[in-house]
Structure 1
Amino acid sequence: MAQGSAKIRIAHAEPLGQGARLLRVERVDGAELGFAGGQYVIINTGVTLPGGKLAKRAYSMLSSDAEQRAVEIAVKRIGAGPGSNVLNDIAVGAELEWSGPWGKLRLPPGFSGRALVIATDTGITAALGIARSAAAAGAAQLDLLWLVEPGETFVSEAFVRERLPAAVRLTVAGDFLPVGHPERPARACALVGDHVAAGPYDAALCAGDGAVIYPVRDRLASLGAPEGSVLLESFFNNPMKKSL
């Protein structure tokens, strides 16, 4: 997979829910990105932060990796956050710089087993990329569990269902506890346990709240998940960063 910096152009933009935007992005040189579903890119917004660093933000590609010359990303406006606000306001045709693709949250080529994809909150973008990937097309079964708070305005359930392949089985826990709630990890582990009770999975891929998906990984291991079969991508609350 190709990696490195490249100039990109905003080819299309449209509103997505309340306070979010769907962007279609392409490389200025017309080259293929070379990504697999579940990976992300890091976009340099061009904004200089108070400490002098540039505001660079990671975004998962939610479109199918069958299309490599243009990709879709979803950007949620986060308060006064400089990165998300730039990308929610940027004009079609504007050019920026990105690097990537990055990340190992993807099914291996030729995967033919049963896979469970777990997403909390905005992690649904990575989950969509995985579910729509070429690797997922050969899966014997792919279940997607989305844990989301009531009233979430990032993307709708209808948006997700419209983009999922027909074979993917989606379960939406739309009454999930809010970020930071002390019972959030336990609730997620219980829901995951219900899925695993129906039969073992050969792979599990988790994206979203690090405070949730790390306990979920441990729960899956306790339920017999093969070593190395559970992959994680923290969108926020990454406990590994805090420990450094």
Structure 2
Amino acid sequence: MKERRRVALELLTLGALTTGFLLLCPRRPVLVDLALALFGLGFVLLNAEYTRTQIWGRWPLEAERRSWQRCVLVTMMLTALAMVLFLLVGISIGYRGAGWPGVAARILHWKLPVAILLYLPWALLQQTLFQFYLLGRVRALRPSLPPLSQSALNGLAFGLVHGPDFALAVLTVVGGTMWSFLYLRYRLLWPLAVSHALVGSTFYYWVYGHDLASHWSPFALGLLRQG
């Protein structure tokens, strides 16, 4: 009971702070999001041993779930399905706007691979916060819930921080639920981060027609110059 009270207090405090921040700053520059995420990551790392042993240590993985190859296969299959959906939507939008040249400009954007590479560390950071830290505490607080329900609660939290864009929030609820369920099953972060980077980048380029690499490049170059 003492441990559950600690987890409940952590989640209530985190929820109140996050809600207040999102209400005060509904639209934020990249630097603000990154600073907040890095602050959260620092807190997670300070509690990493406790999370690993006292939270996740209660539910050791079964032997058949320890295969990273199976985790990668399942994750990439689900990722491919999402990307095919985005591809079809992007083709439809591009063709309606400017015919086949519009399709090519949207789908074959040369900066897409750059965006995926830039997205990877950001995706890994988010997956660490939401899977390793938050999902473990959701499970500790409500251990009797089925894994899919625990995953859906975590996915809902993941979607809420991606507001106020409704379409993006809905997408991230679905994606967050899927990644949470996969983490419960396999306990691997890096395949989820790769999936997140692929899904996020293709969604922005193919569905929204938004050039992520151009948006992020000045910030990334600024960090490199300071380093």
TM over 0.5: no
For normalisation by structure 2, the TM-score amounts to 0.25
Higher relative helix content: 2
Larger Rg: 2
Higher relative strand content: 1
- Structure number with the bigger relative contact order (C-alpha 8 A, sep ≥ 6) is 2
